[in-house]
Amino acid sequence: MSNITSLYLTNINMTYYPSIPSPCYVLEENLLISNLDLLKRVQQEAGIEIICALKGFSFYHEFPLIKQYLAGATASSLHEARLAFEEMGMKPHVYSPAYLEAEWKELSSYAGHITFNSLNQYHQYKDRAHAAGISCGLRINPEYAEVETDMYNPCVAGSRLGIRRSDLGDLPAGIDGLHSHTLCENDSFVLERTLAVIEEKFGDLLPSLKWLNLGGGHLITRADYDVNHLIGLLKGIRLKYPNLQIILEPGSAVGWQTGFLKSTVLDIVESAGITVAILDVSFAAHMPDTLEMPYKPRIRGANSEPETGKPTYRFGGMTCLAGDFYGDYSFEKELQIGDEIILEDMIHYTMVKTTTFNGVNLPSIGKLDRDEQFHLLKSFGYESFKDRL
């Protein structure tokens, strides 16, 4: 429900937000706009299209804003495609490892582009896709990725994602584009090396295509990302293949550092010399990438590495999963039960992955708008838990 609560925060840089419910994901609209400005600059100067990947950023309340900056969206399922179509008012690009026959008719009514993961899938759906005016592509596996965590590496041996050049042969009739997605929060130099492999293996096909989708994993909005190098690289591709539309579809880069997850200390316990602060959120249920990736989230006002002589805490989630914890963090002063804990950069790859394991409630969702006014957009309860069972 929109605008349930509205209050004015006089200082967007304040550490604490006592009037925001806990727990709550809070998007900071000014930070999102800053990201979108940069992505729009890359689009315009490089002459490419950047589309928002819903699998990483599905904050649909902001889709009308995103539409003003980016060329569209990309979806990985029927529900994501419908969300993009209804909330952004545009036909998204769609890719899935496999499509369901029972969903095809509805899915094809939303999609503008569809990428097929295999030749089998393309031959199964191609006639209906072309009849619907959909631009068809194939996902390729260049067998090259600079991704350290195998869970996120689509080029591991035996990967089900994409077609290797040795398995493709001649390009089937009716294919407009190729789609490669092998990056994961990488920079433009990794993209450059990846493109060299793509050209080596698939370069003979590129002059006859209409588009090349270079997928996601481009962390363009990270502070140390070399944007000028990216723009120059993309310009070079376009000069070499003037008829080829280049597409990037980052998710993390859109929502990167655009908001936080507010939580509260429920209890503080001692265990074998370790002080544990138990929060009203769950790492496993509400921040799963902290355990899956894994990575250590930043906490406002805390040092992410323990410091001798300073109060140090391990943070525990509120599920009964033994591994639902992360730490350790040092603070300037001791925490108290009831203190707020602000987990930074919790907008991308969080809400899209949440669960209600143990019946734990989902965090509320809100935003700080451009005038620093807070709006509670959605809250959850028993029915949200029950409906998933």
Q: How far is CA 190 from the centre of its chain?
A: 19
Q: Which is nearest to 364 in space by CA: 252, 254, 260?
A: 260
| Two structure tokens written together for 17 | 């937000």
What residues does 113 pair with on adjacent strands?
93, 135
As a whole-number percent, the residues of the chain with pLDDT over 70 amount to 96
pLDDT at 1 over 60: no
At 226, the pLDDT band (50, 70, 90 cuts) reads very high
Q: Which is nearest to 271 in space by CA: 310, 316, 301?
A: 316
pLDDT at 6 over 80: no
Contact 354, 378 (CB under 8 A): no
At 365, the pLDDT band (50, 70, 90 cuts) reads very high
Contact 265, 335 (CB under 8 A): yes
pLDDT at 13: 37
Q: Which is nearest to 52 in space by CA: 251, 230, 205, 271?
A: 251
Q: How many residues does the chain have?
A: 389
pLDDT at 148: 85
Return the minimum-mean-pLDDT range out of 41-50, 132-141, 198-207, 293-302.
293-302
As a whole-number percent, the residues of the chain with pLDDT over 90 amount to 92
The number of C-alpha atoms within 13 Å of 39 and in the hemisphere containing its C-beta is 32
| Two structure tokens written together for 211 | 């588009």
Query: Stretch 80-85: mean pLDDT, rounded?
Result: 98
At 293, the pLDDT band (50, 70, 90 cuts) reads confident
Q: How far is CA 223 from the centre of its chain?
A: 17
pLDDT at 294: 87
Distances (CA, A) of 216 to 3, 92, 225, 250, 326: 32, 15, 15, 4, 27
Lookup result for tokens 């249920």: 285
Which one-letter amino acid corresponds to residue 288? P
Query: Stretch 299-325: mean pLDDT, rounded?
Result: 96
pLDDT in tens, 131-190: 999 999 999 999 999 998 888 999 999 999 999 999 999 999 999 999 999 999 999 999
pLDDT at 310 over 50: yes
Contact 107, 128 (CB under 8 A): no
Cα angle 181, 107, 255 (rounded to 5 degrees) comes to 45
What residues does 268 pair with on adjacent strands?
277
Return the minimum-mean-pLDDT range out of 4-13, 136-145, 152-161, 327-336.
4-13
Per the model's pLDDT, the better-predicted residue between 294 and 253 turns out to be 253
What is the torsional sign of CA 140, 113, 249, 388? negative
pLDDT at 18: 87
Question: How far is residue 6's CA from residue 2's CA, in Å, rounded to a whole number?
Answer: 10
pTM across the whole model: 0.93
Lookup result for tokens 């590129």: 206
pLDDT at 2: 35
| Two structure tokens written together for 328 | 């350790």
The SS3 assignment for 78 reads: helix
Distances (CA, A) of 201 to 27, 36, 95, 165, 252: 41, 33, 22, 6, 28
Question: How far is residue 52's CA from residue 254's CA, in Å, rounded to a whole number?
Answer: 7
Per the model's pLDDT, the better-predicted residue between 149 and 283 turns out to be 283
At 196, the pLDDT band (50, 70, 90 cuts) reads very high
Q: How far is CA 29 from the centre of its chain?
A: 17
pLDDT at 138: 98
Question: How far is residue 211's CA from residue 43's CA, in Å, rounded to a whole number?
Answer: 15
Full DSSP string of 190-245: HHHHHHHHHHHHHTTTGGG-SEEE--S-B-TTSTT--HHHHHHHHHHHHHHSTTPE
Question: How far is residue 167's CA from residue 161's CA, in Å, rounded to a whole number?
Answer: 13
Distances (CA, A) of 376 to 60, 95, 348, 355, 384: 14, 32, 18, 20, 17
pLDDT in tens, 59-79: 999 999 999 999 999 999 999
Computed over every residue of the chain, the mean pLDDT equals 94
pLDDT at 12: 34
Contact 316, 287 (CB under 8 A): no
Query: Stretch 269-275: mean pLDDT, rounded?
Result: 95
At 7, the pLDDT band (50, 70, 90 cuts) reads very low
